[in-house]
Homo-oligomer: A and B are copies of this chain.
Amino acid sequence: MSVEVIPERSGTAFRLNKGQVLTVIDPKGEQVADLLAFNADDLNEVISSGRTLDYAETIRLTTGHKLYSNRSGVMLEIIQDTVGRHDFLLTPCSVDTFHHFYPDQPPHRGCFGNLAEALAPYGVKEDDIPVAFNCFMNVPIDGETGELKVLPPISKAGDRIELRAEMDLIIGLTACSAPDSNGGSFKPIHYQID
């Protein structure tokens, strides 16, 4: 498939069949893409940060790691990753997070609003949006104090992560809308399905 473009501060949703490979590309560098996955045959099975981190025994997910569902099913496997720094702790930015972190800026519906709109035609409800796998998002944790920071991604132009579907999925994917996630500039995200 040719490369598809998610314009800055927007999102999309699509079907990804078992065995297909989704490549998420950061075309300009230092941009974040929030990724959600639902079982296409039963939307109650959804990507789970808690199951995934428990099984992986690390918060630094990269090539070889599997992303699990709330039912402990393998949804996706990371088969290539040129960055090695993604986040699986935080929920997509929303109107509420804009009010909290950027009170002086006009609020944006954020990745949460973009995902909700893109996933609605597939039957996903807003309340069912969980913690996303945030491709390229750079959230270091201080092991001593537990403090977390949202820093600009370390991804450079052309960096990518490839994920193979291990079941038929509905995917939600964004080009992130939160200033802190990408160093204050908004950029598109590219993706490709093979």
Q: Within 8 Å of chain B (Cβ to Cβ): is A27?
A: no
Oligomer: number of copies = 2
Query: Is the CB–CB distance between A127 and B55 below 8 Å?
Result: no
Complex CA distance for A90 and B89, rounded to whole angstroms: 10
Q: Within 8 Å of chain B (Cβ to Cβ): is A96?
A: yes
Interface of A is mostly: loop
0/1 interface trace, chain A 108-141, chain B, CB 8 Å (1 if under): 0000000000000000010101111000000011
Total A residues in contact with B, Cβ cutoff 8 Å: 40
Q: Which of B57, B91, B130, B142 is within 8 Å of A143, CB to CB? A: B142
Q: Within 8 Å of chain B (Cβ to Cβ): is A192?
A: no
Q: Which of B46, B48, B144, B148 is within 8 Å of A53, CB to CB? A: B148
Query: Is the CB–CB distance between B91 and A57 below 8 Å?
Result: no
Q: Within 8 Å of chain B (Cβ to Cβ): is A5?
A: no
Query: Is the CB–CB distance between A55 and B89 below 8 Å?
Result: no
Q: Which of B53, B127, B144 is within 8 Å of A71, CB to CB? A: B127
Chain B residues contacting A77 (CB-CB under 8 Å) are none
